[in-house]
Chain A
């Protein structure tokens, strides 16, 4: 289905085909009774990143952008650093300040937990097994989920971010992780490190 979407003067401009339908089929049991029908079709959704656009644009450019609450009146969250990127502080709901955490990640990213799975749902594009990892950073109050592309995960191991900046998808899949010390030649195709 060839299509394109852009935003012009604050509105979506959709061009091409966004959906298609095929003829349905009957479903019968062994006695020939009509039990139901199939409902086949394909469709494309659009989706706004809103204030998170900075994070996804950043990853495509090889940077890990988080946020910080700089509201001195914030009773709980003042100076808290968030990764995942939060547009607003969860405590005071003031707009956060963007902070580049690439160096913090290169220096301190550590596996908090992990999981290796061979099972995926429909539409998965990652190679199996997928190695999920959850990553702690120095000075960050939350724990990011990601996937490890080289080596084996273990709690406490140091990792560094790598970015699919050569040909980004502009999704979370552009951000992956490898063990600290992985050389440039060992990086998966299309990914580069900022370390």
Chain B
């Protein structure tokens, strides 16, 4: 739809507060030829238990229903994989359901799980996501991913999802990036930043110290996107435990409030009709009236340059959590950096910057842990985990991993989790001599964006220290 009724724009409301109690990630790699998926899921759940000094046996006593995010059944060649994992976790006969919304599967899993607690159906739930993309050769994997596009109208065109995505990148690159070298370098900076942050994350699949020139010299995937602009293909699992207030405080002294909202847009970009921009709380009615003058061709909304699904997830999510200005009200974000350029597009969709000015979030240094221009803390650090480019994109797990990374910051425990020598060793890795604690000092509110493909589904997950809530 391109116009909305009042009912459709209602601020989503939980019937009671929902808390994030704990969570954990498995290690992430391109392939685990010697591990079954359930081993990775149990690894993630064990991490979640260790984090609040409990055991799977104890934690399971509280769990009442389960939400499993796993996107691509065909990769693992197993339908009802959720039932396999549920059994291996020893959670039968509790109710469980599988959730799949492409790249947003992890976020959607939290969305469903949070509603189960908010409604009173369950007092404590498990949200677990995973993906297994290593059991077919890469070109077959590309075909499988492309089958998430429209099978009659898109997939036969090359069986390559990146191509369907890249036409959006091209349009943004020409209209808002004005094909400038400086814009190209800003894109590359995101790839450098996120791979660099991954160096401090023992869970991360692709830590890499590179330069902007390395990104620009990497092979073209679909111009202007190059290999180092693109996210990873990964295997791994992540989980979160959500609960009502009473259960949450029984399990830990420091649960965090969690709010999850979702938006969507047409599977085919082809079907996106011109419409008015839905405004976020920090935007004004006239703000975009000259957008087409400043950026010729940029007045078609959302066209190929905006993700309406991301905008709607923020539209609902910010209002649920009381966020007005994300840069002011949030302390860090984990964004869905599937490609460097989509990362920039998302800054605009979720109101970190106005439409057309996404690049300035990077160029100002605001997106860094430490602003490289001023050496002061970044205003709103992004993807300190390494994101999808540096840490992982095990599709069903991604949105959960991001949320757990936010949780570590809000607890002030980022260094403890990422710096623990034993964890590096367990993963067969050497903790870098120049390892840095990327803890965001005094973090109280964070946002994770989980995004599917060309923008069919997007969720916004906001995690808040209850002493710093904005909705009351």
Which residues of A approach B to under 8 Å, CB–CB?
27, 29, 33, 35-36, 39, 47, 49, 52, 56, 75-76, 80, 82, 84, 86, 90-91, 112-126, 130, 132-134, 141-147, 155, 171-173
Let me know if B142 and A122 touch, CB within 8 A.
yes
Residues of A within 8 A of B144 (CB): 121
Give the CA-CA distance A126 to B154 in the complex, in Å: 13
Let me know if B139 and A116 touch, CB within 8 A.
no
Give the CA-CA distance A49 to B170 in the complex, in Å: 31
Let me know if A120 and B160 touch, CB within 8 A.
yes
Closest residue of B by beta carbon distance from A76: B3
Q: In the complex where A144-B270, A145-B167 touch, is A132 in contact with B137 (Cβ < 8 A)?
A: no
Give the CA-CA distance A83 to B205 in the complex, in Å: 41
- In chain B, positions 137-166 with a C-beta closer than 8 Å to chain A are 137, 139-146, 151-154, 156-164, 166
Let me know if A124 and B159 touch, CB within 8 A.
yes
Let me know if A122 and B140 touch, CB within 8 A.
yes
Residues of B within 8 A of A47 (CB): 151-152
Q: 16 A-B contacts, Cβ less than 8 Å apart?
A: A29-B33, A49-B152, A86-B271, A112-B171, A115-B223, A117-B158, A121-B142, A122-B140, A124-B143, A132-B157, A145-B268, A146-B157, A155-B170, A155-B174, A155-B297, A172-B157
Residues of B within 8 A of A33 (CB): 34
Let me know if B274 and A141 touch, CB within 8 A.
yes
In angstroms, how far is the closest chain A Cβ from the Cβ of B139?
A: 4
Q: In the complex where A116-B222, A117-B163, A132-B166 touch, is A171 in contact with B304 (Cβ < 8 A)?
A: no
In angstroms, how far is the closest chain A Cβ from the Cβ of B342?
A: 14
The 7 closest A-B pairs by CB, nearest first: A121-B142, A121-B159, A121-B143, A113-B171, A115-B166, A122-B143, A117-B222
In angstroms, how far is the closest chain A Cβ from the Cβ of B179?
A: 10
B168: Cβ under 8 A from any A Cβ: yes
Closest residue of A by beta carbon distance from B268: A84
Give the CA-CA distance A31 to B110 in the complex, in Å: 41
Let me know if A172 and B152 touch, CB within 8 A.
yes
Give the CA-CA distance A36 to B221 in the complex, in Å: 32
Q: In the complex where A29-B33, A142-B272 touch, is A120 in contact with B153 (Cβ < 8 A)?
A: no
In angstroms, how far is the closest chain A Cβ from the Cβ of B353?
A: 22
Give the CA-CA distance A143 to B268 in the complex, in Å: 10
Residues of A within 8 A of B297 (CB): 155
Give the CA-CA distance A111 to B45 in the complex, in Å: 49
Residues of A within 8 A of B2 (CB): 76
Let me know if A120 and B159 touch, CB within 8 A.
yes
Q: How many residues of B contact A (CB 8 A)?
A: 48
Give the CA-CA distance A171 to B159 in the complex, in Å: 13
**Could you say which of B1, B163, B220 contacts A130, with CB atoms under 8 Å apart?**
B163
By secondary structure, the A interface counts as loop
Q: In the complex where A84-B268, A84-B270, A172-B152 touch, is A145 in contact with B139 (Cβ < 8 A)?
A: no
Closest residue of B by beta carbon distance from A146: B157
In angstroms, how far is the closest chain A Cβ from the Cβ of B169?
A: 8
Q: Which of B77, B161, B174 has the most CB of A within 10 A?
A: B174
Residues of A within 8 A of B304 (CB): 112-113, 134, 143
B192: Cβ under 8 A from any A Cβ: no
Interface contacts (Cβ under 8 Å), in number, total 143
Let me know if A84 and B153 touch, CB within 8 A.
yes
Q: In the complex where A116-B222, A117-B222 touch, is A145 in contact with B1 (Cβ < 8 A)?
A: no
Residues of B within 8 A of A130 (CB): 157-158, 160, 163
Q: In the complex where A134-B167, A145-B268 touch, is A121 in contact with B160 (Cβ < 8 A)?
A: yes
Let me know if A117 and B1 touch, CB within 8 A.
no
Let me know if A119 and B221 touch, CB within 8 A.
yes
Let me know if B167 and A132 touch, CB within 8 A.
yes
B406: Cβ under 8 A from any A Cβ: no
Let me know if A173 and B157 touch, CB within 8 A.
yes
Residues of B within 8 A of A39 (CB): 77
- Hey, what's the 0/1 contact readout for B183-209 against A, CB within 8 Å counting as 1? 000000000000000000000000000
Closest residue of A by beta carbon distance from B300: A112
In angstroms, how far is the closest chain A Cβ from the Cβ of B80?
A: 17
Give the CA-CA distance A183 to B435 in the complex, in Å: 63
Give the CA-CA distance A130 to B164 in the complex, in Å: 11
Let me know if A115 and B222 touch, CB within 8 A.
yes
Residues of A within 8 A of B221 (CB): 117, 119
Give the CA-CA distance A133 to B163 in the complex, in Å: 10
Residues of B within 8 A of A133 (CB): 167
Closest residue of B by beta carbon distance from A91: B1
Let me know if A172 and B156 touch, CB within 8 A.
yes
Let me know if B270 and A124 touch, CB within 8 A.
no
Q: Which of A35, A90, A119, A120 has the most CB of B within 10 A?
A: A119
In angstroms, how far is the closest chain B Cβ from the Cβ of A111?
A: 10
Q: In the complex where A122-B139, A141-B274 touch, is A117 in contact with B160 (Cβ < 8 A)?
A: yes
Let me know if B33 and A35 touch, CB within 8 A.
yes
B269: Cβ under 8 A from any A Cβ: yes
B273: Cβ under 8 A from any A Cβ: yes
Give the CA-CA distance A76 to B146 in the complex, in Å: 32
Give the CA-CA distance A122 to B33 in the complex, in Å: 22
Residues of A within 8 A of B274 (CB): 141
Closest residue of A by beta carbon distance from B137: A122
Let me know if B159 and A122 touch, CB within 8 A.
yes
**Could you say which of B153, B160, B161 contacts A145, with CB atoms under 8 Å apart?**
B153
Residues of B within 8 A of A86 (CB): 271
Let me know if B158 and A124 touch, CB within 8 A.
yes
Give the CA-CA distance A76 to B152 in the complex, in Å: 27
Let me know if B1 and A76 touch, CB within 8 A.
yes
Residues of B within 8 A of A172 (CB): 152-154, 156-157
Residues of A within 8 A of B151 (CB): 47
In angstroms, how far is the closest chain A Cβ from the Cβ of B93?
A: 30
In angstroms, how far is the closest chain A Cβ from the Cβ of B149?
A: 9
Let me know if A123 and B170 touch, CB within 8 A.
no
In angstroms, how far is the closest chain A Cβ from the Cβ of B462?
A: 30
**Could you say which of B77, B153, B167, B268 contacts A113, with CB atoms under 8 Å apart?**
B167
Give the CA-CA distance A116 to B163 in the complex, in Å: 8
